[in-house]
Amino acid sequence: METQLVTQQVKGIVGESLTFPVEIPNLKPDTEINWRYGFKELDFQIARIQNRTIKVFEERFKARLQLDNMSSSLRINGLEREDSGIYQVETIGGNRFIKRFHLSVYNPVPEPQVMQIHSANRSCTLLCFVGNASEVNVFWMRDGKPLNTTELEISQEMQGGNVTYTCVASNPASNKTTTVTPSHYCDKRKGNEDDAPRNHILIPVIVLAVIGVLAVLSITLYFRRKKTAFEKEGSERSRNSGGIVYAEVTTAPPAGSGEDIPELAAARQTTAKLTTIYDELRTPSSQNAPC
Protein backbone atom coordinates (compact mmCIF):
# COMPACT_ATOMS: atom_id res chain seq x y z
CA MET A 1 0.00 0.00 0.00
CA GLU A 2 1.53 3.33 -1.08
CA THR A 3 1.66 6.08 1.47
CA GLN A 4 0.27 9.48 0.46
CA LEU A 5 3.04 12.03 -0.20
CA VAL A 6 3.09 14.84 2.35
CA THR A 7 5.20 18.05 2.10
CA GLN A 8 5.97 19.84 5.32
CA GLN A 9 7.47 23.32 5.76
CA VAL A 10 10.41 23.49 8.17
CA LYS A 11 12.60 26.44 9.12
CA GLY A 12 16.17 26.69 10.35
CA ILE A 13 18.66 29.35 11.48
CA VAL A 14 22.16 29.82 10.07
CA GLY A 15 24.77 28.22 12.32
CA GLU A 16 22.27 26.11 14.28
CA SER A 17 21.10 22.50 13.87
CA LEU A 18 17.90 20.98 12.53
CA THR A 19 16.43 17.48 12.89
CA PHE A 20 13.71 16.62 10.38
CA PRO A 21 10.53 15.59 12.20
CA VAL A 22 10.19 12.03 10.91
CA GLU A 23 8.45 9.09 12.62
CA ILE A 24 8.57 5.94 10.53
CA PRO A 25 6.03 3.36 11.81
CA ASN A 26 7.15 -0.23 12.39
CA LEU A 27 10.75 0.64 11.53
CA LYS A 28 13.13 -2.32 11.62
CA PRO A 29 16.87 -1.89 12.18
CA ASP A 30 17.77 -3.37 8.79
CA THR A 31 15.32 -1.18 6.88
CA GLU A 32 17.10 0.98 4.31
CA ILE A 33 16.27 4.70 4.58
CA ASN A 34 17.31 7.03 1.77
CA TRP A 35 17.48 10.83 1.86
CA ARG A 36 17.39 12.92 -1.29
CA TYR A 37 17.89 16.66 -1.77
CA GLY A 38 17.44 19.35 -4.39
CA PHE A 39 16.87 23.07 -4.54
CA LYS A 40 13.78 22.77 -6.73
CA GLU A 41 13.85 19.11 -7.73
CA LEU A 42 15.23 16.01 -5.99
CA ASP A 43 18.48 16.02 -7.90
CA PHE A 44 20.61 13.57 -5.91
CA GLN A 45 20.83 11.22 -2.94
CA ILE A 46 22.69 12.71 0.01
CA ALA A 47 22.58 9.92 2.64
CA ARG A 48 21.52 6.35 3.44
CA ILE A 49 20.67 5.05 6.95
CA GLN A 50 20.63 1.32 7.74
CA ASN A 51 21.28 -0.68 10.91
CA ARG A 52 21.69 2.63 12.75
CA THR A 53 24.60 3.62 10.50
CA ILE A 54 24.63 6.65 8.20
CA LYS A 55 26.53 6.95 4.95
CA VAL A 56 26.83 10.40 3.37
CA PHE A 57 27.24 10.70 -0.40
CA GLU A 58 27.30 14.45 -1.00
CA GLU A 59 30.65 16.11 -0.29
CA ARG A 60 29.38 19.40 1.19
CA PHE A 61 27.19 17.51 3.68
CA LYS A 62 29.77 14.95 4.84
CA ALA A 63 30.93 16.81 7.95
CA ARG A 64 27.44 18.03 8.87
CA LEU A 65 24.94 15.16 8.49
CA GLN A 66 24.25 13.00 11.53
CA LEU A 67 21.84 10.24 12.56
CA ASP A 68 19.48 11.36 15.32
CA ASN A 69 19.58 8.59 17.93
CA MET A 70 16.13 9.34 19.34
CA SER A 71 14.12 9.27 16.13
CA SER A 72 16.49 7.65 13.60
CA SER A 73 15.91 10.76 11.53
CA LEU A 74 18.43 12.98 9.73
CA ARG A 75 20.10 15.86 11.53
CA ILE A 76 21.93 18.76 9.82
CA ASN A 77 24.51 20.65 11.88
CA GLY A 78 25.87 24.13 11.11
CA LEU A 79 23.06 25.17 8.81
CA GLU A 80 23.89 27.39 5.83
CA ARG A 81 21.65 29.54 3.66
CA GLU A 82 22.46 27.21 0.74
CA ASP A 83 20.87 24.29 2.63
CA SER A 84 17.44 25.68 1.82
CA GLY A 85 15.53 23.40 -0.54
CA ILE A 86 13.55 20.18 -0.81
CA TYR A 87 14.39 17.05 1.22
CA GLN A 88 12.70 13.68 0.83
CA VAL A 89 12.95 10.55 2.96
CA GLU A 90 11.80 7.11 1.78
CA THR A 91 12.17 3.52 2.91
CA ILE A 92 13.13 0.64 0.65
CA GLY A 93 11.35 -2.70 1.08
CA GLY A 94 8.56 -3.71 3.40
CA ASN A 95 5.97 -1.04 4.14
CA ARG A 96 7.10 1.84 1.97
CA PHE A 97 7.27 5.21 3.69
CA ILE A 98 7.88 8.54 1.94
CA LYS A 99 7.76 12.13 3.15
CA ARG A 100 8.91 15.47 1.72
CA PHE A 101 10.12 18.61 3.47
CA HIS A 102 10.73 22.14 2.28
CA LEU A 103 13.51 23.68 4.38
CA SER A 104 14.00 27.47 4.58
CA VAL A 105 17.15 28.70 6.34
CA TYR A 106 17.23 32.27 7.73
CA ASN A 107 19.91 34.46 9.25
CA PRO A 108 19.75 34.94 13.03
CA VAL A 109 17.58 37.83 14.16
CA PRO A 110 19.65 40.64 15.78
CA GLU A 111 18.55 42.06 19.09
CA PRO A 112 16.30 45.10 18.45
CA GLN A 113 17.43 48.54 19.60
CA VAL A 114 15.40 51.47 20.98
CA MET A 115 16.20 55.16 20.66
CA GLN A 116 14.39 58.47 21.11
CA ILE A 117 14.03 60.30 17.78
CA HIS A 118 11.75 63.20 18.74
CA SER A 119 10.61 65.04 21.85
CA ALA A 120 8.09 67.79 22.51
CA ASN A 121 6.66 69.46 25.61
CA ARG A 122 4.12 66.73 26.29
CA SER A 123 5.34 63.72 24.26
CA CYS A 124 8.29 61.88 22.78
CA THR A 125 8.72 59.32 20.01
CA LEU A 126 10.65 56.05 20.38
CA LEU A 127 12.02 54.11 17.41
CA CYS A 128 12.35 50.31 17.32
CA PHE A 129 15.01 49.18 14.79
CA VAL A 130 17.59 46.50 13.92
CA GLY A 131 20.00 48.31 11.58
CA ASN A 132 20.60 46.79 8.13
CA ALA A 133 19.30 43.28 8.80
CA SER A 134 17.25 41.80 5.96
CA GLU A 135 14.13 39.62 6.12
CA VAL A 136 13.34 40.98 9.59
CA ASN A 137 9.98 42.34 10.71
CA VAL A 138 10.18 45.05 13.41
CA PHE A 139 7.25 46.37 15.45
CA TRP A 140 6.07 47.49 18.90
CA MET A 141 3.86 45.45 21.24
CA ARG A 142 1.92 46.29 24.38
CA ASP A 143 0.27 43.69 26.62
CA GLY A 144 1.01 41.00 24.04
CA LYS A 145 -0.77 42.87 21.24
CA PRO A 146 1.18 44.10 18.19
CA LEU A 147 0.87 47.83 17.46
CA ASN A 148 2.08 47.42 13.83
CA THR A 149 4.45 50.39 13.96
CA THR A 150 8.17 50.97 14.44
CA GLU A 151 7.70 54.52 15.80
CA LEU A 152 5.94 54.75 19.13
CA GLU A 153 4.65 58.17 20.19
CA ILE A 154 4.46 58.38 23.97
CA SER A 155 2.33 61.13 25.49
CA GLN A 156 3.01 62.56 28.94
CA GLU A 157 0.08 60.60 30.35
CA MET A 158 1.55 57.34 28.99
CA GLN A 159 4.91 57.92 30.69
CA GLY A 160 3.75 57.48 34.26
CA GLY A 161 3.80 54.33 36.33
CA ASN A 162 5.41 51.07 35.28
CA VAL A 163 3.88 50.88 31.81
CA THR A 164 6.15 48.84 29.49
CA TYR A 165 6.35 48.38 25.74
CA THR A 166 8.13 45.61 23.83
CA CYS A 167 10.23 46.16 20.74
CA VAL A 168 10.10 43.00 18.59
CA ALA A 169 12.35 41.83 15.76
CA SER A 170 11.36 38.59 14.05
CA ASN A 171 11.64 36.45 10.96
CA PRO A 172 9.85 33.16 10.17
CA ALA A 173 12.49 31.17 12.09
CA SER A 174 13.02 33.19 15.29
CA ASN A 175 12.42 36.44 17.14
CA LYS A 176 14.07 38.64 19.77
CA THR A 177 12.59 41.33 21.99
CA THR A 178 13.58 44.34 24.07
CA THR A 179 11.20 45.60 26.76
CA VAL A 180 11.41 49.25 27.83
CA THR A 181 9.77 51.70 30.19
CA PRO A 182 8.99 54.89 28.20
CA SER A 183 9.87 57.25 31.05
CA HIS A 184 13.44 55.88 31.01
CA TYR A 185 13.92 57.40 27.55
CA CYS A 186 11.51 60.33 27.58
CA ASP A 187 12.78 61.76 30.89
CA LYS A 188 16.19 62.32 29.27
CA ARG A 189 14.90 65.35 27.39
CA LYS A 190 14.04 67.03 30.73
CA GLY A 191 17.65 66.76 31.79
CA ASN A 192 18.72 68.23 28.47
CA GLU A 193 16.34 71.17 28.91
CA ASP A 194 17.76 71.85 32.40
CA ASP A 195 21.28 71.86 31.00
CA ALA A 196 20.42 74.30 28.20
CA PRO A 197 20.51 77.53 30.33
CA ARG A 198 23.82 76.46 31.83
CA ASN A 199 25.24 75.99 28.35
CA HIS A 200 24.06 79.48 27.33
CA ILE A 201 26.02 80.95 30.26
CA LEU A 202 29.06 78.71 30.13
CA ILE A 203 29.88 79.17 26.44
CA PRO A 204 30.19 83.04 26.55
CA VAL A 205 32.31 82.78 29.71
CA ILE A 206 34.71 80.41 27.99
CA VAL A 207 34.89 82.67 24.92
CA LEU A 208 35.65 85.75 27.05
CA ALA A 209 38.32 83.88 28.98
CA VAL A 210 40.03 82.83 25.75
CA ILE A 211 39.89 86.41 24.42
CA GLY A 212 41.41 87.70 27.69
CA VAL A 213 44.29 85.23 27.53
CA LEU A 214 45.01 86.16 23.92
CA ALA A 215 44.95 89.89 24.81
CA VAL A 216 47.46 89.40 27.66
CA LEU A 217 49.76 87.43 25.39
CA SER A 218 49.55 90.11 22.69
CA ILE A 219 50.37 92.96 25.13
CA THR A 220 53.28 91.00 26.64
CA LEU A 221 54.69 90.30 23.20
CA TYR A 222 54.31 93.98 22.19
CA PHE A 223 56.26 95.33 25.18
CA ARG A 224 58.91 92.65 24.80
CA ARG A 225 59.48 93.74 21.22
CA LYS A 226 59.60 97.43 22.27
CA LYS A 227 62.21 96.64 24.94
CA THR A 228 64.36 94.75 22.46
CA ALA A 229 64.15 97.63 19.96
CA PHE A 230 65.06 100.18 22.68
CA GLU A 231 68.10 98.20 23.79
CA LYS A 232 69.21 97.82 20.19
CA GLU A 233 68.86 101.58 19.60
CA GLY A 234 70.95 102.39 22.72
CA SER A 235 73.69 100.06 21.55
CA GLU A 236 73.74 101.80 18.15
CA ARG A 237 74.06 105.24 19.78
CA SER A 238 76.99 104.04 21.93
CA ARG A 239 78.88 102.83 18.85
CA ASN A 240 78.26 106.15 17.03
CA SER A 241 79.45 108.47 19.92
CA GLY A 242 83.09 108.56 18.65
CA GLY A 243 84.53 106.71 21.65
CA ILE A 244 83.76 109.55 24.14
CA VAL A 245 83.28 108.24 27.68
CA TYR A 246 81.91 110.28 30.55
CA ALA A 247 82.99 109.75 34.16
CA GLU A 248 81.85 111.25 37.45
CA VAL A 249 84.61 113.07 39.35
CA THR A 250 84.32 113.89 43.06
CA THR A 251 86.74 115.74 45.35
CA ALA A 252 88.04 113.84 48.37
CA PRO A 253 88.31 115.77 51.61
CA PRO A 254 91.83 116.47 52.91
CA ALA A 255 93.34 114.36 55.62
CA GLY A 256 92.36 115.23 59.11
CA SER A 257 89.10 116.04 60.67
CA GLY A 258 88.70 119.29 58.70
CA GLU A 259 87.24 121.04 61.71
CA ASP A 260 89.78 123.80 61.36
CA ILE A 261 88.73 124.72 57.82
CA PRO A 262 85.75 127.05 57.92
CA GLU A 263 84.84 126.45 54.28
CA LEU A 264 84.52 122.72 54.73
CA ALA A 265 82.50 123.08 57.88
CA ALA A 266 80.07 125.30 56.03
CA ALA A 267 79.94 122.87 53.12
CA ARG A 268 78.96 119.98 55.42
CA GLN A 269 76.06 122.01 56.70
CA THR A 270 74.85 122.86 53.21
CA THR A 271 75.44 119.64 51.24
CA ALA A 272 72.55 120.47 48.95
CA LYS A 273 74.63 123.28 47.46
CA LEU A 274 77.50 121.00 46.35
CA THR A 275 77.87 120.65 42.60
CA THR A 276 79.27 117.60 40.78
CA ILE A 277 81.80 118.51 38.09
CA TYR A 278 82.30 116.25 35.04
CA ASP A 279 85.36 116.39 32.89
CA GLU A 280 85.71 114.97 29.41
CA LEU A 281 88.28 112.23 29.01
CA ARG A 282 89.99 112.12 25.65
CA THR A 283 92.19 109.53 24.12
CA PRO A 284 95.84 110.78 24.20
CA SER A 285 97.19 111.72 20.79
CA SER A 286 100.61 110.78 19.49
CA GLN A 287 101.78 114.45 19.70
CA ASN A 288 101.17 114.71 23.48
CA ALA A 289 102.61 111.30 24.30
CA PRO A 290 105.68 111.47 26.58
CA CYS A 291 109.05 110.70 25.04
User: What pLDDT does 155 receive?
Assistant: 80
- Shared domain for 94 and 182, answered yes or no, is no
User: What pLDDT does 190 receive?
Assistant: 45
User: What pLDDT does 49 receive?
Assistant: 94
User: 184-223 b/e with 16+ CB inside 10 Å = b?
Assistant: ebbeeeeeeeeeeeeeeeeeeeeeeeeeeeeeeeeeeeee
User: What pLDDT does 280 receive?
Assistant: 57
Are 28 and 94 in contact by the 8 Å Cβ rule? The answer is: yes
Residue in 62, 74, 71, 57 with CA at minimum distance from that of residue 18 = 74
Among the candidates 106, 141, 174, a domain finishes at 106
- Shared domain for 34 and 101, answered yes or no, is yes
- pTM summary value: 0.58
- Shared domain for 70 and 21, answered yes or no, is yes
User: What pLDDT does 14 receive?
Assistant: 96
User: What pLDDT does 189 receive?
Assistant: 44
User: What pLDDT does 263 receive?
Assistant: 55
User: What pLDDT does 206 receive?
Assistant: 74
Among the candidates 148, 163, 186, a domain finishes at 186
Q: Cα 27 from chain centroid?
A: 59
- Shared domain for 101 and 160, answered yes or no, is no
Among the candidates 73, 91, 106, a domain finishes at 106
The residue range of the domain holding 164 is: 113-186
Between CA 206 and CA 215 the distance in angstroms is 14
DSSP state of 234: H
User: What pLDDT does 198 receive?
Assistant: 44
- Shared domain for 16 and 70, answered yes or no, is yes
Query: Which residue ranges in the chain fall short of pLDDT 70?
Result: 1-4, 157-161, 187-205, 207, 229-291
Are 158 and 126 in contact by the 8 Å Cβ rule? The answer is: no
Inside any domain, residue 286: no
What is the number of domains present in the chain?
Answer: 2
